[in-house]
Amino acid sequence: PAAAAPLSSRLSLARLRSGASPRFFSSSCGAPGSAVSSSAAEHEEPRKSELIFLGTGTSEGVPRVSCLTDPSKTCPVCIKAVEPGNRNRRRNTSILLRHVTPSRTSNILIDAGKFFYHSALEWFPAFGLREIDAVIITHSHADAIGGLDCLRDWTNNVQPSIPIYVAPRDYEVMKMTHHYLVDTSTVIPGAAVSTLQFNIMEEEPFTVQDLEVIPLPVWHGQGYRSLGFRFGDICYISDVSDIPDETYKLLEDCQLLILDALRPDRSSSTHFGLPRALEEVRKIKPKRTLFTGMMHLMDHEKVNDDLARLMETEGLDVQLSYDGLSIPVRL
């Protein structure tokens, strides 16, 4: 495993060329949260916080076009994935936290990848979502930031702007991949691009919409840093090949773990496979685990049937998530 970098990089960034300064965040205290069952949630107030899976697949998604156009039709998962409502249909990995407090409801999005428009088109109306109060970025690959341009629909028609929370290294990438969103002075007058407020987050706790967010630094391939996030007792790690020792301390007493599991047989250079993901579950010991980031080799029904046996043999509550899954949570 690669050596872990310090938890606080303490990088100093220049002001945005447009004149706006990225904000830096310090530690803050928030009330702990935990995942709750549907039966327990029925006794809570009518409006509850929830975690919604907008996408649970890889960068290329499921089904693959190459599988659907293959004359041999040898990929059963991709063939099933085109069926309406089939849980093998997966878009880029992303979740949305609907954070309900007595004073307001906030929608906090984690990543806006290449398929974000398609995810939002399906799930925002289905769950009665409209505003996006914040976007937190795990890393700067296309399946995490490729949909930032699609946020123009919100900032042109729903709300004036959207705060983006991003690590310094990923902000530097965005200055190249989305230069016209970072430096709006280059935009042709009248062009209605996304209006985004970039906020630089260090690898230390910060607050978004009255919710404490704890970054979980991990490796996503050798030498490439990605972030998971902890919200109360919920830990989300979507893109990981190795977990630094110091991050395990941040995962203690996790109740709901959402973890990367690319394929059923082995890991890749950039992602946990199911065997390694299960090793990490046994080490972290969450109360419940949902896997995400699955490719087309992961058949939802078959793999979940296999995973269900681990409850009987080891007491492990582990299952695959799916696009459109909603879980009541207490934050």
Predicted structure pTM score: 0.86
Domain-embedded: residue 12: no
- The gap from C-alpha 205 to its chain's centroid, in whole angstroms, comes to 17
Tell me, yes or no, whether 20 lies in a domain.
no
Other C-beta atoms within 10 Å of 12: how many? 8
Q: Would you say residue 78 lies in a domain?
A: yes
CA angle 105, 106, 112 (to 5 degrees): 150
| Residue 287 falls inside a structural domain | yes
User: What is the residue type of 330?
Assistant: R
Task: From 182, 177, 133, select the one nearest 21 (Cα to Cα).
Answer: 182
Order of strands across the sheet that contains 225-231: 206-208, 211-219, 225-231, 234-237, 256-260, 288-292, 318-320
**What is the domain range of residue 241?**
50-328
Q: Can you tell me the distance from the alpha carbon of 175 to that of 200, in angstroms, rounded to the nearest whole number?
A: 13
Instruction: Let me know if residue 3 belongs to a domain.
Output: no
Give the integer Cα–Cα distance in Å for 59 and 167. Answer: 20
Per-residue pLDDT tens listing for the chain (331 residues)? 333 333 333 332 322 223 334 444 333 333 334 444 444 444 444 579 999 999 999 999 999 999 999 999 899 999 999 999 999 999 999 999 999 999 999 999 999 999 999 999 999 999 999 999 999 999 999 999 999 999 999 999 999 999 999 999 999 999 999 999 999 998 998 899 999 999 999 999 999 999 999 999 999 999 999 999 999 999 999 999 999 999 999 999 999 999 999 999 999 999 999 999 999 999 999 999 999 999 999 999 999 999 999 999 999 999 999 999 999 998 9
- Inside any domain, residue 23: no
Residue 239 resides in a domain:
yes
- Structural domains counted in the chain: 1
- Give me the CATH number covering residue 124: 3.60.15.10
Let me know: does 320 contact 298? Beta carbons within 8 Å.
yes
**Cα dist. 145→106, 180, 313 in Å?**
21, 14, 40
Exposed e or buried b per residue across 34-58, where buried means at least 16 C-beta atoms within 10 angstroms of its C-beta: ebbeeeebeeeeeebbbbbbbbbbb
* 10 found inside a domain: no
